[in-house]
Structure 1
C-alpha cells in the first residue's frame, strides 16, 4: 500500500488556468513532501529555438503564420518563444498519434540534426496507422459523444469505429464521409459502419437533429425548439423543426446486412407552435437552404403507403428506398454545398490542434460568437473546399505553424487566449492517457482497454470549453486501485519499474524516471529530492520506486499536453 503522505501530497484537484502550470509538476509534489523544494518551474522561459527554413513550410502554413502574426502586431503582442525539440516531439505525438513517444522514438528525433526535422516528423506521423486510430477516437467522441462500455461495444460491433479509422487512413474527403453518414444507405460493405450515427439515436428524431447540427454544421439549435433563438437571429424555430423533418421518416431495422435505417415515403408532416401559440408547418429547410418542394397532404387526408412510391435498393437484402427520400434531399440539397460544412470542420481541426477554435466554443459558429481571425477562417475554409475537403492537409499545416510550436508559457502582457500567443495546454483525453500510460509504464505503444473504460468516465471530455480537473479525476489518478495495480504489476523486462531498477544508483534512477515519464531532463533539485527519497527506503526500494512513478504519472505535467 502506498504511503499515506505520498497520496496526500499528490491529491491536488485544481482549476488549471492557461497561465498556471507550475503547481502541477509531479516532482514538485514529491519535493513538497520531503521539504526539499528548490525553486524554479518546469516551464520557465527557455532560450528561443530557431525556426525551420521557409522552404520547409507549406503555403497554407505561411497563410496561417501571416494572419496570426498580423494579429499579434495589431494587438501589440510579443508571443512566447518557440518550444524546444523535447517539448515539440511530445506535443506532436500526443496530438497526432494520441500518445507520448517512446524513449526510443523521442531520442531518434532529437538525434536528427536536419533543419526540417519537425516537418519531416509531422509527415511521418500523419501517415501512421496510429494517426487514423487516434483521430477516429476523437471524432467518435465529437460526433456521437461519450457513453458507457456497452455503447462502445456496440459501436465496435457494428463497424462505426472501423468506418472512421478507414476514412481517416484513406484521407477521404470530409464531404463524402458526411454524406455517407447522414444518408445512411451503404452501397458497399466498407460503408456499413456509417449507418451507426443515426441508428444509435434509436428513432429519436429531435436527438438526431440536435446531434447533426453541431457535428456537421458547427452550430447548436437546442434553444430554437420552442421559439426562434433569442440570441442568434439566424437560427430559427423553423430550422429546428425543418431539420427534424428531414430525418423523421426513418426507422431502425436489423437486416441480414446489419443495422439499417429504413425510410418511409409518407408521413412526417406536423406543425409546431411558438410561445405565442401560433402554429406553422414543419417544412424541409435548414440554415438558409429550403424550404424544399414536397407534396403536402391536405388536413384530414390520410396517405397510403404504396409500392409505387419506392424503388428497389441497390444492395441485396437492403430495405427499399423512397423515390422522394427526405434524407437524400437533405444530403444533396442542404449538406454537401452548405458553407458551414467546411467551415465547421476547419474550426474543429483548429481546436483539436490549437486548444480552442478560431470560433470558440468550436461548435457555436454563429453571429453571437464571431471568429477571432475572420479572414484566416475564410481563407482556410476556401482552401479546405478547393483541396477536396482533405483533413490531413490542414492538420499538417497547423502542426507546422508558428503558433502551434510556441512554448506553453503565457507572456506576461497577454491574457486573452484567442490570439494564440502561447501554446494552450489541454488535458489528455481518456484515450491519450490510456495509451500514454501504456507507453511509459510498459514500454509499448498499445491500448489497455480495461484502463480505457475506466478513464472514459473519469477524465475531461474531448475539447472541453473550460479546462478544469475535478475531484473524480484527481481521486482516480491519486487513489485509484486500477492505476496502482498497473504500476505495481509492471514487472516485465521493458517496464519502467524494471528499467529503473537496472540503473546503477539512486541519482541515475532519479534522472531516468523524470526523463522516461515527463520527457525532459531532471533539474538538480529534483535529482536530489528523489535520490534522498529512495535512499531512505532502501529496505523497500521497489515500493519506493512505484511511489515516485505514481507521483510522476499523477502530475499535471504528465496529464496535460503542453
Structure 2
C-alpha cells in the first residue's frame, strides 16, 4: 500500500464506524484508544499536567534568573519547521523526483532566486525539486487566501498548459476578496484588534479591509497608526491602535468616581514596546526598566549599548498624547473619547504601576532610538516619529522579514521581533562566539529595498515571494536531509493551518459554513469576522486550542498537541459537519453521485484537493459497500483528521 493509502488508513478504520465510537467515548477512553499511527505522524506527546501543580515556587536564586529565558530562548522556529517537514512529508502523497544537485540551473523567477539559489550553489547545498502543480496550487490558495481550492477552480488551473500559469494564479488570488479576508484577519491579530478597542472595533476592521483592498502604501498605513488624533477616535481608526494599550492607574480613594483612569506614562511605555516589536522588529522591553549593560550581554549586543534614558526618549514621542474618556456612574463609558497631544510631556518622575520606578528629573525630549534624531522645529512629535520610522531601512526589513516568515516557515532573522542590529553587517561581524544573525542578509536587504521601491506595496511583497522558485520548491526532499540545509530554504517547509484557516477549511470541505456577525452583515467563515471571540463558545474553544490569539497579547505560533488531535476527532466543529443528515456536501453527493467511485473521488477533491490513489479508492469503495451513508461520513471524517488536511505543504 502506498503513502496515500497509508495516509488515509492511519485515521480510517474500514472495519467499523470508528468516528461514531470515538465520539461516544469519554475523553479518558478516547485517549487510551488514540491511534498509534496518528500519534507517530503528528509527533504528539501527552503532557503530565499534574507535574505543573507540583512545581514549587521559585527561591531567591531562581528569581534572579529573570533573564534566563532570553539567554536560553525557546527552540528556534527554523528547527521546528525543518523537523515538522521531515516528519509530515512521510505522510504526504508521494511526489517522485530526486534532490537537485549543486550546479543545477533553476529558473530565476524573481530577484529572490538569485540570492537563495546563488547561496546554495556557492555552499554546495542540494535542494528539493520544484513542486508539482497540484502541490503548488493548494499551497498558493492557502497562503494567499487562507482557503482550500474549490475543485472546479483547481481543475481549471491543472488543465492550463500556459508556461506562466503559476504567475497568473498568484495575481488572481492576491487580487481576490478572499485575500483581503485572510490578511485583514492576520493584521488584526498583529495589531491586537480585540475587545480593548471597544465600540471602535468594527470601524478598525473595515479600515484594515479598505487599505488592503486598495493596496494602500504600508508606510502611509503606519503613519495613520502612529499619528491618529481627534475628538472621537471611534471615527479615527488609527488612534485605536494607541488607545487599546492603556494601563489603568491606581484608584484614588479620595476620588471615588475616578475608576479606571489611564496611567499616561505607563501607557506610553507599553505602546512603545509594542510598536517597536511590530513595526521595527526590535524588542526594547528590557531597556524600559534598566540599561542594557550588565544585563543583555548574552541576549542582544545592540541593546547592550542602549540606556534606559534612550528608551525614555523613544517613549517621549507620545509624551504629550492623552486619552480623554467619557464616564458614567464612575466607570468608563463605551462611547466616544478623544486622543490629542496636549499633555505636558514624558515625565521621568511619573509614578509607574508596571515598571521599575523611573529616575531623573524633568521631561524627556523625543529622539529616535536608531538614529538619535529629534523632531524638526515646529513638527508634531508623533508626525516626526512616523517620518523617521517609515524612512528607515529597519522598518522595511522588519516588515518583509515578517511576511517572509509567514510564507516560508520562518524568518531570515529569528525571532522576527528581536533583531540584533549589532550582528547584522557581514562586513563588521560580532565578536566570537556571536555570529551574524540573518541567514541571508543580502536577500533581506534586497527585499527591503524592493519593498520601498514599489511604494511599500504589501501585495507586491506577497506576489514577489510566491512567484519565486524558492517558494515553489517541493516540501518533499528525496535525498538525505541534513540539518545544515535548513537556513538555506532548500525545501519548502510545511506549516500547520492557523486556527481560522483550519475551521474555514473544514467548513468549505463539508459545504457547511457557519453563521457569524461582521458588523451588520452575516458571514460564513471565521476569517471574515472582526472579532473571533464572537464566534460562539464551541468554535471559539476549537480555535483557541489551535492557537487563536486572544488579541490581548502578541500572536504566537502553536505547536501540535494531543488535545488538538482529540478535538479534531470529537469536536462538533467536525462531527456535526460530517453528518449527512445536516445537509452540505455529503448529503448532496449521496443523492447525486452517479456511482460510488465518483462519490469517493469527489470527497477527496473537496477535502484534500486531489483524487485518491488506487489503494485509497479501493478502501473507500469497500467502506461504501458495507454502508453507503456511514462509509461516506467516515471517509470524510478520516480525511479531515489526516496530516495532509491539517498542514499546508
TM-score (norm 2): 0.69
Q: Deviations along 1:309-330, whole A, 9 cap, x unmatched?
A: xxxxxxxxxxxxxx77432332
The alignment partner of 1:209 has SS state of helix
Q: Deviations along 1:359-392, whole A, 9 cap, x unmatched?
A: 1222222245711111111111112112221111
**CA 1:244 to 1:365, structure 2 compared with 1: closer, same or farther past 3 Å?**
same
**CA 1:430 to 1:288, structure 2 compared with 1: closer, same or farther past 3 Å?**
same
Shift of 1:403: 1.0
Asked whether the equivalents of residues 430 and 452 of structure 1 are also in contact (C-alpha less than 8 Å), the reply is no
**CA 1:506 to 1:409, structure 2 compared with 1: closer, same or farther past 3 Å?**
same
Is 130-139 or 191-200 further displaced after alignment? 191-200
Is 127-136 or 541-550 further displaced after alignment? 541-550
The alignment partner of 1:456 has SS state of helix
2:253 paired with 1:199: no
The alignment partner of 1:106 has SS state of helix
- Correspondence 1:136-535 to 2 at 5 A: 136-144=184-192, 150=195, 154=199, 156-157=201-202, 159-185=203-229, 192-203=236-247, 204-229=267-292, 230=296, 231-235=299-303, 236=306, 237-253=308-324, 258-270=336-348, 282-290=364-372, 292=374, 325-332=380-387, 334-367=388-421, 370-410=437-477, 411-415=479-483, 416-442=485-511, 446-448=524-526, 449-450=535-536, 453-460=540-547, 468-488=559-579, 491-492=582-583, 495-500=585-590, 502-535=592-625
Shift of 1:522: 1.4
Shift of 1:197: 1.0
Report what 2:631 is aligned to: 544
Shift of 1:516: 1.9
Report what 1:44 is aligned to: 94
Number of residue-to-residue matches in the alignment: 504
Q: Structure 1 stretches of 5 or more lacking a match? A: 26-39, 51-56, 296-322
**CA 1:190 to 1:351, structure 2 compared with 1: closer, same or farther past 3 Å?**
farther
When the two chains are superposed, the root-mean-square deviation of aligned CA atoms in Å is 3.7
CA distance in 1, matches of 2:231, 2:407: 33
CA distance in 2, matches of 1:188, 1:89: 45
The alignment partner of 2:577 has SS state of helix
Asked whether the equivalents of residues 288 and 311 of structure 2 are also in contact (C-alpha less than 8 Å), the reply is yes
Q: 2:170 aligns with which of 100, 104, 122?
A: 122
Report what 1:303 is aligned to: none
Is 162-171 or 248-257 further displaced after alignment? 248-257
CA distance in 2, matches of 1:544, 1:225: 60
CA distance in 2, matches of 1:497, 1:361: 47
The alignment partner of 2:339 has SS state of strand
Asked whether the equivalents of residues 67 and 376 of structure 1 are also in contact (C-alpha less than 8 Å), the reply is yes
CA distance in 2, matches of 1:461, 1:453: 8
Asked whether the equivalents of residues 14 and 468 of structure 1 are also in contact (C-alpha less than 8 Å), the reply is no
Shift of 1:520: 1.6
Report what 1:4 is aligned to: 21
Asked whether the equivalents of residues 442 and 490 of structure 1 are also in contact (C-alpha less than 8 Å), the reply is no
The alignment partner of 1:495 has SS state of helix
Q: 1:18 aligns with which of 72, 76, 82?
A: 82
2:648 paired with 1:557: no
Shift of 1:409: 1.8
**CA 1:554 to 1:258, structure 2 compared with 1: closer, same or farther past 3 Å?**
farther
Asked whether the equivalents of residues 253 and 260 of structure 1 are also in contact (C-alpha less than 8 Å), the reply is yes
Asked whether the equivalents of residues 179 and 335 of structure 1 are also in contact (C-alpha less than 8 Å), the reply is no
**CA 1:217 to 1:294, structure 2 compared with 1: closer, same or farther past 3 Å?**
same
Shift of 1:119: 0.4
**CA 1:387 to 1:133, structure 2 compared with 1: closer, same or farther past 3 Å?**
same
CA distance in 2, matches of 1:104, 1:443: 18
Asked whether the equivalents of residues 183 and 328 of structure 1 are also in contact (C-alpha less than 8 Å), the reply is yes
CA distance in 1, matches of 2:173, 2:375: 47
**CA 1:335 to 1:257, structure 2 compared with 1: closer, same or farther past 3 Å?**
farther
TM-score (norm 1): 0.79
Q: Structure 2 stretches of 5 or more lacking a match? A: 1-16, 24-29, 45-79, 101-106, 248-266, 327-333, 424-435, 514-522, 527-534
- Correspondence 1:92-111 to 2 at 5 A: 92-111=140-159
Report what 1:112 is aligned to: 160
